[in-house]
Amino acid sequence: MSGLLLFFIALHFAAPSLAASSRALQKQLDTLIDNGGYILSRNNRVIIAHKPDTLFSPASIWKIATSAEALHILGRNYRFPTDFYLDSSNNLYIKGHGDPLLISEEISDIAVLFKENGLTSINNIYLDDTDFQLESRGSGAGTSLNPYDAADNALAVNFNTIFIDKKKDGSITSAEPQTPFLPLMLEKGRNLKPGRHRITIAHRGAESLRLAGELFRAILAQQDIRCSGTISPGKVPMNLVIFQRHYSIKLDEIIRQMLLYSNNFMANQLFLACGAKAEGIPATWEKGKKTLNNFLLDEIGLNKGNCRVEEGSGLSRKNKISLRAMLKVLDYFKDNRGLLERKNGLLLKSGTLSNVFSYAGYFSTPGNLDSFVIILNQNTNNRDKILSLITGHQFTGGHVPSGNGNH
């Protein structure tokens, strides 16, 4: 059934304001779409749709699918562990398991516990990221300094980014109080203009581990734990027992923050962790793709032709999904809709790439919870206008970032 025919059939079930102005509404909508579509459902019935079965690149609304997968496979109460070991020479081994939120504040808590457990000095720091074996960057990721291009890693801190403040005299400091100055900041900020810069440093695994090691060493020093040795990659020896284990916040709160800030790094950490859970350690991109694809087909009930999985954040344009399939994802996610941001009376996730503009979410009408998806793969961003027309909500999404980042 064509999207246009569906639209006119749907008017019998739509609000009176839609039915009364159907021709004018259709004319308005037609002028806003060069390549894209929309779909709106009420009580599990599609009431308005345009090109509901065409595959489009979804951008960051794809993160809803990854969130649904993570809640199903890992569980909403799951907490990512990070393990710490000490050997007989007082060398510290840190083994990561993919925590997306191993940030300065968490590391400060870890250092306090180290101090309380009697640790006063360590020699070398060895960093074990072998739970992830990523042969390449995630599909769609570039090599820019922008945070949306941050690389994933089993042992990554501060989203694999640093935030620096470069003064006019060339001096460089940390731009956030919870993060001490690190030697890596000086190196990465040397050729930048004065100002504040949040930059990605981890295009190679060695850089990611260097950042982790320097941050741990600096924060341990704040607790008067002396670190006298070197920092290097190193697998935890089989004979060592855990000295301390740190757990992340619960998965549902991780997802809430990931969706709110549309963080690509966090989304792919979840994507990779799900693959490792289903297919075994180490995590790989192929295991992640297989696991999300199986979840969409077997658990949500999509058909093979309705979606194509490449990674978990929506950054890759190779991710494809139809609007009807995305609507099924929303139906599945409905019980977890409170994890989405509320804007102008809507529970909403947006997505933005160059020439990709999308919305997906829910809004309440008397006695109903309506679901909607808008995906535009075109030059002009008309998603706000389309959303206002099909939902009756006056909505302004605000500034749309430029460039190739996924938002």
Other Cβ atoms less than 10 A from the Cβ of 293: the count is 17
pLDDT at position 397, please? 55
**Contact by Cβ (8 Å): 98, 132:** yes
Can you give the pLDDT at residue 5? 40
End-to-end Cα, the chain, rounded Å: 33
Structure tokens at 243: 């000295």
CA 164 to chain centre: 23
Local confidence pLDDT in tens for the 407 residues of the chain: 444 344 444 444 444 444 445 677 778 898 999 999 999 999 889 988 999 999 999 999 999 999 999 999 999 999 999 999 999 999 999 999 999 999 999 999 999 999 999 999 999 999 999 999 987 666 555 555 555 667 899 999 999 999 999 999 999 999 999 999 999 999 999 999 999 999 888 655 688 899 999 999 999 999 999 999 999 999 999 999 999 999 999 999 999 999 999 999 999 999 999 999 999 999 999 999 999 999 999 999 999 999 999 999 999 999 999 999 999 999 999 999 999 999 888 999 999 999 999 999 999 888 889 999 999 999 999 999 999 998 886 555 543 333 345 66
How far apart CA 145 and CA 135 sit, in angstroms, is: 21
- Helix 22-32 to helix 383-391 angle, to the nearest 10 degrees? 160
- Domain 81-249 in CATH 3.50.80.20: yes
CB 113 within 8 A of CB 265: no
pLDDT at 201: 81
Return the pLDDT at 154. 95
The answer to whether 368 and 349 are in contact (CB under 8 A) is: no
The domain ranges of the chain are 3-74+253-391, 81-249
CB atoms < 10 A from the CB of 151, how many?
22
Q: What is the pLDDT of residue 10?
A: 44
Question: C-alpha angle with apex 373: 312 to 17, nearest 5 degrees?
Answer: 165
Tokens found for residue 403: 């460039």
C-beta neighbour count of 61 within 10 angstroms: 26
What's residue 24's pLDDT?
A: 77
- For residue 368, what pLDDT is reported? 86
Dist. CA 145–CA 137, nearest whole Å:
14
Render 159-189 in DSSP notation, one character per residue.
Answer: GGEEEEEE-TTS-EEESSTTS---HHHHHHH
Which CATH superfamily includes the segment(s) 3-74+253-391? DD-peptidase/beta-lactamase superfamily (3.40.710.10)
SS3 category, 172 = strand
Which token pair is 107? 């590391």
73 alpha-carbon distance from chain centroid: 17
